[in-house]
Structure 1
Amino acid sequence: MHLSENLFWDVDKSDLSYEKHSGFIITRVFTKGDWSDFKQVLNYYGRDKCLSALKNTRYLDPKTLSFCSHYFGIDKSEFRCFRERQLSPAPWNY
């Protein structure tokens, strides 16, 4: 895969394994990637593995969560990040 360079600015790409770190890569691409990155990840990992990684991640921003819910055709309540979110908003939520 030839993913955008800006996706992994905070990690050493030479230490990143597509198989070992699949959950991290899938989540990062869905939250910060562009359409090309999105299509590459779906083609490489497949729909089921992407869905599994996203359903089990601890955090997705509201926009990404809505997109994933709509794209995969499942309810938001099936995502771990939705079920385990904080019950009250953060005190510094401006």
Structure 2
Amino acid sequence: MNSEITIKDFSQHLFWDVDLATFDLEKHHVHMIQKVLEYGKMSDWNLLKSFYGLDKIKEVSLNLRSLDAVTLSFLSTIFNIDKSEFRCYKHRQLVQNYWNS
């Protein structure tokens, strides 16, 4: 992990719902990774890789309950893992969508 990276290095639009004074990158790693994956820019992705490493990002992303389809495809390609291995993919298959049926 690169300890020189701080929350202020990431795009500020990611943290509209977070108190930056109390946000800890280590303690809130799941929240941080999900925010950057779904709403971050490519520069945020590069910072995320530098700070946590691909193994940690992979571990967290495999267990997230929700990811949008584009992010899921991106991660599936980056990690060379079938989409069905992701928890969010399995969860989506279990939940019926009444609005688009």
Instruction: Spell out structure 1 runs of 4+ moving beyond 3 A.
Output: 86-89
Partner of 1:33: 40
Using the size of structure 2 for normalisation, the TM-score is 0.85
1:13-92 to 2 correspondences below 5 Å? 13-87=20-94, 89-92=96-99
Deviation (angstroms), 1:76: 0.6
Deviation (angstroms), 1:87: 3.6
Distance 1:88 1:19, change over 3 A: closer
Using the size of structure 1 for normalisation, the TM-score is 0.91
Equivalent residues, number:
94
Instruction: List alignment gaps of at least 5 residues for structure 2.
Output: none
Moved more, 78-87 or 30-39: 78-87
Instruction: List alignment gaps of at least 5 residues for structure 1.
Output: none
Identical positions, percent? 45
